[in-house]
Structure 1
Amino acid sequence: MAEIVYPPVIGVARMLFRVLDMKIHIEGSGHVPTTGGAVLVSNHVSYLDFIFAGLGARPSRRLVRFMAKKEVFDNKISGPLMRGMHHIPVDRTEGAGAYVAALRALKAGEVVGIFPEATISRSFTVKDIKNGAVRMAAATGTPMIPVALWGTQRLWTKDRKRALGQRHIPITILLGEPMHPKRGEDMEAHTVELRRRMSELVDKAQRGYAEIPEGVWWQPAHLGGSAPTPEEAEALDAADAAGRLAERD
């Protein structure tokens, strides 16, 4: 497919990384195959995670087609960019269409990116995850690669003002060893193992981060930060869901 939009968007992003003097550390990029389909499965702590998860595939010279909620495509600014980069819209009321589109992309040899937690984790730990990524990898015979992002929440996340102009922020991108689920195997068992590997990578990224101050909002509670605990975050997410339901009603 023609790539008119994606390359210049990457160019602008890389220029901004240099201007802001971001300290970006990428580890494990060699796990992304240079050809053929693959599923990148990332944790989700920031509205900008798709940029940095995609950056993890750049050493393999791959462009990642991310699955993102339909509302992003409806926006008059982000919509044309998302469509131009051939990302995959997800309508939460009709998820089957997005699943079929992702399968089609994988079979065509594309790399598909997915955030299986579905929403940003306020606790900055890995939430319960959906099994869609496992099912897609199994259905297409493609490898599934766990990804951990850390530091991106300091730029823009839930309940916090954007800090897109902040300089010198360290960003960590870790890619783990591929998993190879197959048709007929236990998809739930693979999903549990995927979450375990993602959590292990996130913990590694957090504990090896260049800055580990106590009490800051962007640090998880179990490492001395003031972020909500997983239980508190779950309650906040439930309140958000109830609010959206009330608005629809």
Structure 2
Amino acid sequence: MRDIVYPPVVGIAKTAFKVLDVRFRLVGTENVPRTGGAVIALNHISYVDFVIGGFGAQPSKRLVRFMAKDVLFRNRISGPLMRGMHHIPVDRGAGAASYREALRYLGEGELVGVFPEATISRSFELKEFKSGTVRMAAAAGVPVIPMILWGTQRMLTKDHPRDFSRHRDISITVGTPITVTRQDDAGEATEHLRTTMAGMLDETIRAYPEQPPGAWWLPASYGGGAPTPEEAERLDQEELSRRRAKHRER
């Protein structure tokens, strides 16, 4: 796949990281294969996760094609960039086309980035996973590479103002590849992936250099001020209701 836009964008991002003095804590990045297709499964806690998640594949000199909301591709600013980097638009009302496109990319030896939770977690813990990640990997005959991001929520996430302060710590933990076949039960394979990533998330949080009690960006179960998963689910439902009301008004 010919890349004209992606490499310069990576260069700009790396320059921005240096200016902001982002301190990356990379663990297990050697698990990202240097060749061949794979599905990168990431937790979702921030609007900048696709940028930081892509950085996690840089040690292997790979580019990640993320599956992202189609609204980003319609935006006059982000649209040309998303298309130029060959990311994959996802229309939740017609997901079959994006699924086929992802399979095509995987068949061509690309890395496809997926957020199994589908939406940002307000609790910063893992939400329930959709089964599409493991089904896609099984259909394409490629491994799933679990990846955990931590610290990105402090930059830009739901319900909080953006904060691109300097000297910020960002952790990226990459787990060992998980093989899924068509014979595996999708529900069981999805739960195995979630359990694996939950353990990785716990290790990543505990190794993070900052653990201030009551911090809004720290999960409630770790003594932080973030909503509990139950509270986060309520907030998600309220947000969904507001969106539906706006849609009806149109």
Shift of 1:84: 0.3
Amino acid at match of 2:235: L
Q: Which residue pairs with 1:172 in the alignment?
A: 171
Q: Which residue pairs with 2:199 in the alignment?
A: 200
Matched, 1:46 2:39: no
Whole-angstrom distance in 2 between the partners of 1:213 and 1:160: 17
Whole-angstrom distance in 1 between the partners of 2:158 and 2:9: 24
Unaligned runs of 5+ in 2: none
TM-score by length of 1: 0.98
Shift of 1:244: 1.1
Whole-angstrom distance in 2 between the partners of 1:140 and 1:118: 20
SS in 2 for 1:174: strand
Q: Which residue pairs with 1:234 in the alignment?
A: 233
User: Size of the alignment, in residue pairs?
Assistant: 248
Amino acid at match of 1:30: E
The percentage of counterpart residues that share the same residue type is 56
Whole-angstrom distance in 1 between the partners of 2:131 and 2:234: 23
SS in 1 for 2:30: helix
SS in 1 for 2:147: strand
Shift of 1:150: 0.3
Shift of 1:219: 0.5
Whole-angstrom distance in 2 between the partners of 1:227 and 1:199: 17
Whole-angstrom distance in 1 between the partners of 2:123 and 2:214: 14
SS in 2 for 1:239: helix
Q: Which residue pairs with 1:156 in the alignment?
A: 156
Unaligned runs of 5+ in 1: none
Whole-angstrom distance in 1 between the partners of 2:247 and 2:20: 40
Q: Which residue pairs with 1:29 in the alignment?
A: 29
Matched, 1:59 2:63: no
SS in 2 for 1:190: helix
Shift of 1:5: 0.5
Cα deviation digits, residues 159-208 of structure 1 (max 9, x gap): 011112x0011000000011100012111100000000111111111111
Shift of 1:248: 1.5
Amino acid at match of 2:193: L
Whole-angstrom distance in 1 between the partners of 2:26 and 2:79: 28
Q: Which residue pairs with 1:245 in the alignment?
A: 244
Amino acid at match of 1:46: S
Whole-angstrom distance in 2 between the partners of 1:24 and 1:17: 9
Q: Which residue pairs with 1:121 in the alignment?
A: 121
Q: Which residue pairs with 2:5 in the alignment?
A: 5
Whole-angstrom distance in 1 between the partners of 2:228 and 2:132: 26
Whole-angstrom distance in 2 between the partners of 1:10 and 1:230: 34
Amino acid at match of 2:97: G
Whole-angstrom distance in 2 between the partners of 1:185 and 1:195: 15
Shift of 1:230: 0.2
Amino acid at match of 1:83: R
TM-score by length of 2: 0.98
Shift of 1:6: 0.4
SS in 2 for 1:104: helix
Structure 1: 4+ residue segments shifted above 2 A? none
Whole-angstrom distance in 2 between the partners of 1:143 and 1:84: 26
Q: Which residue pairs with 2:94 in the alignment?
A: 94
Amino acid at match of 1:173: I
